[in-house]
Amino acid sequence: MEGSGLAYFRLCAIKDVPAGGMKQFDLRDKEFLVVNLKDQFLCLDGRCTHAGAPLADGILEGGILTCPWHGSRFNIMDGSIINGPAKNPLNVYTSRIEEGQLFIEIKATESEYMTL
């Protein structure tokens, strides 16, 4: 196998993110935001694409996340920008739940992929 592919990595326990809440988790030198929207768990970039604000400190209203620093607003379902100043959308990551644990699909190195 050349290069790397995508693989699932454990991010957190679903009990760590209460209904209607959000929390940041670090995995493989990257910050991810987990949102529990009516027991639907969404995984997004943990930092705003405008100036790097920690989105876990933002405001979540329904499916809209507002950045705590400059007020950019994002749709958490697809990461799209509702209004800036952000110019780039958030990445939304595929995830799955197994035995109460949330796994996120991200790029794996060749050696990690071979051991999964």
**67-101 residue pLDDT tens:** 999 999 999 999 999 999 999 999 999 999 999 99
Please give the pLDDT value at position 111: 57
- Identity of the residue numbered 25: F
Per-residue pLDDT tens for 98-114? 999 999 999 887 655 44
Tokens at residue 89, please?
A: 């959308």
- CA dist 54 to 22, 69, 80, 109, 116, Å? 12, 9, 17, 26, 30
Tokens at residue 5, please?
A: 């592919």
Domain ranges of the chain: 24-115
- pTM score of the predicted model: 0.89
Please give the pLDDT value at position 108: 83
What is d(CA 55, CA 52) in angstroms, rounded to the nearest whole number? 8
Question: Percentage of the chain with pLDDT > 90?
Answer: 84
- Per-residue exposure over 27-52, b if at least 16 CB sit within 10 Å of its own CB, e if not: eeeeebbbbbbeeebbbbbbbbbbee
Q: What is the CATH number of domain 24-115?
A: 2.102.10.10
